[in-house]
Amino acid sequence: MSTTTADYKDRQFLAVIGDEDSVTGLLLAGIGHVTAPPDSQKNFLVVDNKTDNATIEATFERFTTERKDIGIVLINQHVADRIRHRMDTYTAAFPTILEIPSKDHPYDPEKDSVLRRVRRLFGE
Amino acid sequence: MAASPGTPADAIDGLLERYLGLVDEYARLRSTLSALQAHVYQAIARANFSAERGIRYGQELYDERMQASRSLAITPGEHDTPKFGVVYHGDKLHGSQGDEKHEAASEAEKEDENQADDEKAKVEKPSDPLKWFGILTPMTLRLAQGKAIEAVEQVIPRLVTLDAEMADVEIRVRRARKKRSKAEAAALKQQQALDSEKAAVEDEAAVDSDKDPETADEKQLASDIEREARTEDEALASKLESTSIS
């Protein structure tokens, strides 16, 4: 996968889509950013039971397609499951997607897209 | 089949060896990330449990004008794959940029602009996210922050770098496999061509050897006839001779 500097020159933020504790933890590390008004775009989305899939998908689209300042999108694995069809068709090199565990849903290697690629390479 | 050095199979073996090393590191980092996040969740849960007056350390208390103090630094890595890193610039972001821009300006203008820059820096300077939750934040929240920083600075960038490296090796393995299958197909075709050529030569030789016995027989027959004729002639001549003598 050959990439050029232009592909990632301006990508300086990590974005996160996840439950409240996941987002709080990562924002405590200092990755949270709100752009200047009037846009005031956040680089995070807190997902709870009331958040519908359309909102998650729209935010995912915004982070991956519209915004050119995001380099990594962190998403809870159980949230990624809700938009799995979109996750599976995402092939762009930037931003990179990383599925992370959440408090109630531990990391499941079976669902990990990277490990699924490993199995595919070895013909399983 | 043992691979000799320099063959496509050898190249694939080398790539797969590297790939397995990357998979191993990926799995280890995954478990490290899970452990760190478990610590973060536990610490946040403890902080919420001990919070006064039902305060919950969550999105209600986030700063609406937050600025990132940790950002990505992506550089070209091995084989042109991107290498991710996270840098901390909490204390120096937006700091000295203004001074460099306005060197040619007059003193008064400079002072005004510096003042404006200072104000801007004051507004945009990323603050410690712990301050969103009050001045006296619990120790557990600090602990959560420490673990989260460790995950963001050390584990997450390496995981995504590994992901990119693995994707690169996968492409190389598939290319090498394709090259090998092409080479095998070409070798098979060549072998088949050689076999058919050999078979044709053998057929020709068989036809020739079939022809030879026939001619030999014919020659034998001709010589037999000649010999018989000669014997008959000789017998006749001797008969004539004996009759003339008598």
In this prediction the ipTM stands at 0.92
Interface contact flag, B74 A11, Cβ < 8 Å: yes
Q: How far is A96 from chain B (nearest CA, A)?
A: 7
Residues of A in Cβ contact (< 8 Å) with B171 = 1
Across the A:B interface, residue pairs with CB atoms under 8 Å apart total 155
Residues of B in Cβ contact (< 8 Å) with A34 = 64-67
The pLDDT of B51-59, averaged and rounded, is: 83
Q: Give tens-digit pLDDT for B124-168.
A: 567 888 888 888 888 999 999 999 999 999 999 999 999 999 999
pLDDT of residue B55: 82
The pLDDT mean for chain A works out to 91
Q: How far is A112 from chain B (nearest CA, A)?
A: 10
The pLDDT of B26-55, averaged and rounded, is: 92
* Model confidence, pTM: 0.76
> In this predicted structure, which of A38-42, A63-67, A77-81, B158-162 has the lowest mean pLDDT?
A38-42
pLDDT of residue B118: 53
The pLDDT mean for chain B works out to 80
Residues of A in Cβ contact (< 8 Å) with B163 = 96, 98, 114
pLDDT of residue B5: 53
- pLDDT of A10 over the 80 cut: yes
Q: Which CATH homologous superfamily contains domain A13-122?
A: ATPase, V1 complex, subunit F (3.40.50.10580)
Q: What percent of chain B has pLDDT over 70?
A: 76
Q: Give tens-digit pLDDT for B187-220.
A: 999 999 999 999 989 888 887 766 665 566 667 7
pLDDT band at B91, cuts 50/70/90? low
Q: Locate the chain A residue with the closest alpha carbon to B129.
A: A28
- pLDDT of B105 over the 60 cut: no
Alpha carbon distance B182, B185 (integer Å):
5
Mutation target for A interface from B15, B17, B29, B30: give the one with most A CBs within 10 A.
Answer: B30
pLDDT band at A102, cuts 50/70/90? very high
Contact with chain B for residue A112, Cβ under 8 A: yes
pLDDT of residue A7: 76
Helix/strand/coil (H/E/C) assignment for every residue in chain B: CCCCCCCHHHHHHHHHHHHHHHHHHHHHHHHHHHHHHHHHHHHHHHHHHCCHHHCCCCHHHCCCCCCCCEEEEEEECHHHCEEEEEEECCCCCCCCHHHHHCCCCCHHHHHHHHHHHHHHHHHHCCCCHHHHHCCCCCHHHHHHHHHHHHHHHHHHHHHHHHHHHHHHHHHHHHHHHHHHHHHHHHHHHHHHHHHHHHHHHHHHHHHHHHHHHHHHHHHHHHHHHHHHHHHHHHHHHHHHHHHHHC
pLDDT band at B96, cuts 50/70/90? very low
- pLDDT of A64 over the 80 cut: yes
